[in-house]
Amino acid sequence: MTDKTSSIESILNYVKDKKIKFVDFKFMDFPGQWQHFTVPVTQLNEKSFAEGYGFDGSSMRGWKAINESDMLIIPDPETMLLDPFIIEPTISIICDVYEPITREKYSRCPRHIAQKAEAYLKTTGLADMCYFGPEAEFFIFDDVRFKSAPNTAFYEIDSVEGRWNTARDEKPNLGYKPRYKEAYFPVPPTDALMDLRNQMVTTLIDMGVNVEAQHHEVASGGQSEIDLKFQPLVKAADQILLFKYVVKNTARLNNKTVTFMPKPILDDNGSGMHVHVSLWKNEKPLFAGSGYAGLSEMALYFIGGLLKHAKSLCAFANPTTNSYKRLVPGFEAPVNLAYSQRNRSASIRIPMYSDNPKSKRVEFRCPDPSANPYLAFAAILMAGLDGVKNRIDPGDPLDKDIYDMPPEELQNIPSTPESLKQALKELANDHDYLLQGDVFTEDVIRTWINFKMEKEIKPMSLQPHPYEFALYYDI
């Protein structure tokens, strides 16, 4: 009996024992949101894990035309969880997307791309495991309103923690509003979200997610972070999606709302998704050594690959127009492409908390939580491997506070793209490293660029911005 067969049998027994009524199938669309549909438990049997379930692929963003819309999802039995947010007893299973005619995994399925990246790593012989430890920051708000129409455009967000509310009549206003850029991290009552984050963490742990810590983040207005223990690439991406699902739904149960939008508040810190990466082989860490910051030669070459391809990586790691409102100097944003030990003003940091070789890792600080984690993690791995294979020298480290450096020194340090459009241009010109092992394909790259241009960049360029009225109305 294989482990997979055992997992399927375990699921069918669990469904029977726990009197489960529904099965919710979750899968990833191209831009980066979980999608789902649900079947009565009577529709689940052993054949379900081989034959799958059909759905309309033409309704998924960036996927099929209407004349070729039939697609399949096939459940991954190792991802089954009890869903705590659905009233009727419901299990949730993550699925892979397949072509119904060829019965092959769909080339634009982000989870498939991540799976190919893991498989490609093993074929290189360099390592057999890549661990990812993402830290996705987010904002917890009490209210959000927005509208974009031919004659109006606005947004308004609010938080009981918002520093902008110090004068609001709250009957009574108790005054505990974290100062801008100073919310990392005072104790309650200034931190008003402690119990809510604990509730989120409890739910994550109950669902089998290994949580390391939770805390308030730097920005006023409810910025928070919950750290998850590192996992292999595909599982790390699966967990980020589960993490978002739990955080959003827990907030909703408490009449609050969560956003992973990178920069929802003006003049305060945005939300990043710092990604910790390490390579292993035969259960031994490969990034520990006698080089700079205790790194191995492999780790330094991995950094070299990240720095060489960082601008094109941003097309996947920072994939929204809003991402580049976070990537600006002055808000701890890693806009300068350099590496350093301990230094959070560098785009690549080597954490120095422990001298245990198993803890030695590289922290890539550019990404943000709007990223599709399957695509972002796969691209990060491919860039790092390109550095290792081609022995790309990362240059000298930068152990200064980059934000305090004089302009004549800063001009020699490359920086991240200033816009999503620029990042996509970088991707168009620099993506051969992503094509190795057929992990990404030319079709995936082209479709990603075209989708972002047509659905996000062009509409944004046509929309008058509210601040333009402040600048230009009286011209």
The residues annotated with a catalytic role in the active site are 56, 135, 137, 217, 225, 274, 344, 363, 365
Place of tokens 């070299």: 304
Helix axes 297-317, 420-429, angle to 10 degrees: 120
The encoded tokens of residue 436 equal: 């190795």
Q: How far is CA 242 from CA 42, 135, 230, 232, 319, in A?
A: 25, 14, 14, 15, 20
**What value, to the nearest 5°, has the Cα angle with vertex 347 and ends 343 and 350?**
50
**What value, to the nearest 5°, has the Cα angle with vertex 234 and ends 439 and 236?**
135
Cis preceding linkage at 186, omega within 30? no
Contact present, 23 and 43 (Cβ < 8 Å) = yes
Would you give the DSSP letter of residue 156?
A: E
**Consecutive H or E run containing 388:** helix 373-389
Place of tokens 């072509």: 99
User: What's the length of the chain?
Assistant: 475
Would you give the DSSP letter of residue 413?
A: S
**Which amino acid is present at 359?**
S
Question: Can you tell me the distance from the alpha carbon of 360 to that of 298, in angstroms, rounded to the nearest whole number?
Answer: 12
Strands (E), 49-187: 53-56, 70-75, 81-82, 90-98, 129-141, 143-149, 152-158
**Consecutive H or E run containing 339:** strand 339-341
Place of tokens 């399925």: 109
Contact present, 292 and 304 (Cβ < 8 Å) = no
How many C-beta neighbours within 10 Å does residue 78 have? 14
Question: Can you tell me the distance from the alpha carbon of 368 to that of 325, in angstroms, rounded to the nearest whole number?
Answer: 11
The β-bridge partners of 92 are 24, 81
**Which amino acid is present at 27?**
F
Instruction: Render the burial of 223-243: b for 16+ CB within 10 Å, e for the rest.
Output: bbbbbbebbbbbbbbbbbbbb
What CA dihedral angle connects 35, 39, 41 and 47, to 10 degrees?
-80
**Consecutive H or E run containing 14:** helix 3-17
Burial tier of 146 (Cβ tally within 10 Å: 0-12, 13-18, 19+) = exposed
